[in-house]
Structure formats: structure tokens, C-alpha cells
Amino acid sequence: MFNGALIPFVIGNHFIDYQNKKATQVFLLCDKPKDATLILISFRGTEPFDADDWSTDFDYSWYEIPNLGKLHMGFLEALGVGNREDTASFYYHLQKRSTKHCYPEAAEVESSNEGPHSERSSGIDKKGIPPEIVEMSAYYVVREKLKTLFEEHKNAKYIVTGHSLGGALAILFPTVLVLHDETNLLQKLLGVYTFGQPRFGNKQLGRFMEAHLNHPVPKYFKVVYCNDLVPRLPYDDKIFLYKHFGVCLYYNSCFIKQKMDEEPNKNYFGITHMIPEHLIAIWELIRSLTMGYTRGPEYKEG
């Protein structure tokens, strides 16, 4: 059980405003006030009536790191590691720090990464990030807070999670840690668990991250419910090229779990899926009116 007394402190100090209207909300919790063994990092997801959140989900813009992969530009902005109005800011925040600390499979992926983002070819000083940027950025705030918590809780490990937009930020956070060669933090990562997460990168990026997150066992799991639209965005097709990776835990409309590589109906729209989708939606609506009685109060609609 997590200590509920810690929640108000975290909420009050980790609302991150970025780029004027953009706001990324992050929660950090420890399972115990002293000698904690588990730290939870949770990125808040898409809010139903927040136009900025939805526009980020439907954004299709890329930022490409040569020889490594492409990342969703809107999610990078939401994490606070770049600004599309100044594309050089992505270069500054996403430089490849080092390739010397990685698993053998990761080393193979990284062996040809001597490009514009390599430490050898970059002339940008990597000794530190200016304090004003750290204060603005969800990524740097969470990273530095996490390091502070590990100084207090020497034996702690951590989990990163998030829903919808927050799910994309949850997996993007360790991705940037890998780029920054934060080996100590990555070694303490127990897993990344996302719920209804949109796609955030291409296939090449997926291969790169799996080489870092699958040792000794898979650490990245994404939960997808039935016909949820958000995990099918942005599209996985020949034009947009977005691609999920990691272990997919798919739940059908009867809440039966299946472990698979990819969710069914990966792009959502299609004539063959239209009728089943509508029938399931009607079934779910009717069921929602009775679930509180048939399955218990925890299933009652809020």
C-alpha cells in the first residue's frame, strides 16, 4: 500500500506548466515514508475536456534522431524536452550522451549511431542543464526528484505508469533516460505499465528501446481495452509509420485478458470492424447500467 499522506505533497509540487497552455501533471509516491522499497511515477493522462491534451494525441509530427528512430514531437513537448518553434531545442535535449553502458543487444543497435546526435560530433556543453529549463520541464523535475528519493531510500526501485497521453509520457521518460545514459536510474527501473497509451515512435525506435528494456525480462507492458481509440493513434500505416512495441495485454469487452504482440484492429477504422464496434458499444452501454449491481459497487459508473 502506498502512503496516502504523501499524495498531497506530490500533487502540490509536480504540476508542470510548459509552453504557456501546455501542462504536464506528474505524481510521485513512495510506499513508505522511511526506507521505501517502491517509488511510483504516474503521468496524468488526457483530460476529457482539455483541447491541448486531445490535440497532442492527434498530432502526427515527428522528430527524428538519426540511426536511432523517430519520436512523436507533441509528446516530447509535453515531457518538456523540446519546442517545435525552436527545433534546435530537441537536438539540445535529446543528444546521445554515451553508448558505453548498455546490454550487448543494445550495443549492436547503437554501434552505428555516430551521427549529429553523437557525443563526438556535438559541440554543445553537456555538463549541465540551466536551472530555468529544469524548473520548466517535467522530465528534468521528475529525474532530479527521483535521484533525491534514491538518496533517501537506498534500496528502492521504481515503476513508471500513465493513462492515455500519460502512458506515452511514461514510456518516453525512460527513453530519454537511455539517451542521457542514466544507467543508475535505469538499473532501478522495475517496469513501465501504460493504459490506453497512444503510439509515440516508429519501428526503429521500438527495436532500440526493446534492446534496453527486455533484460533480463520484459519491463514494458501496455494495457489495451477492446475498441479503445487512443491506442490506435497515431496510425500504424505506410504513411505515418507509427508503431507500438513491448508486451500488449489486451482485454476484450468481457474483460478477458490476452497477451499478444499487437492489439487487434490496429488502426481502428474499417468496414469489417464497423458493425462489431457499434454492437459492442451498445452492449457496453447497457452493461454499464447494471455492473454496479451484478459485480459490486467498485464497478459502478462514477
DSSP string for 230-298: GGG-S--STTT-B---SEEEEE-TT--EEEESS-SSTT---HHHHHHHHHHHHHHHHHHHHHHHHT-GG
Residue type, 182: E
Band the pLDDT of 277: cuts 50, 70, 90. confident
> Of residues 300 and 285, which shows the higher confidence score?
285
Q: What is the pLDDT of residues 146-196, one digit of tens each?
A: 999 999 999 999 999 999 999 999 999 999 999 999 999 999 999 999 999
Q: Is 28 exposed, middle or buried (0-12, 13-18, 19+ CB in 10 A)?
A: buried
Note the pTM of the prediction, 2 decimals. 0.79
- pLDDT band at residue 88 using 50, 70 and 90 as cut-offs: confident
User: Given a cut of 70, is residue 120 above it in pLDDT?
Assistant: no
41-55, 81-95, 167-181 — most confident range: 167-181
Q: How sure is the predictor about 132, in pLDDT bands with cuts at 50, 70 and 90?
A: low
Task: Please state, rounded to an integer, the average pLDDT across all residues of the chain.
Answer: 79
**pLDDT exceeds 60 at position 49:** no
**Could you count the other beta carbons within 10 Å of the beta carbon of residue 206?**
19
Q: Within the chain, which residue ranges are assigned CATH 3.40.50.1820? A: 4-269
Q: How many CB atoms lie within 10 A of CB 65?
A: 22
- Lowest-pLDDT range, 52-56, 117-121, 161-165, 279-283? 117-121
Residue scoring higher pLDDT (164 or 95)? 164
Encoded amino acid at 91, one letter: Y
Q: Shortest CA distance to 203 belongs to which of 116, 143, 266? A: 266
- pLDDT tens, position by position, 223-249: 999 989 899 888 887 777 889 999 999
pLDDT at 43 over 90: yes
Q: Rounded to an integer, what distance in angstroms lies between the CA atom of residue 101 and that of residue 107?
A: 8
Q: Cell 509535453 belongs to which residue? A: 78
Half-sphere exposure of 253 (CA within 13 A, CB side): 14
Please say whether the structural domain 4-269 has been given the CATH code 3.40.50.170: no
Of residues 135, 220, 217, the one with CA closest to residue 174: 220
DSSP annotation of 19 reads: T
pLDDT confidence of residue 149: 95
**Top-confidence residue, 194 or 131:** 194
Cα–Cα distance list, 89 to 86, 94, 117 (Å): 6, 8, 12
Q: What is the DSSP string of 51-103?
A: HHHHHHHT---EEEETTTEEEEHHHHHHHTS-BTTBTHHHHHHT----SSSS-
Residues 8-42: pLDDT tens digits? 334 333 333 334 444 788 999 999 999 999 999 99
Taking only the tens place, the pLDDT of each residue in 264-274 is: 888 777 777 78
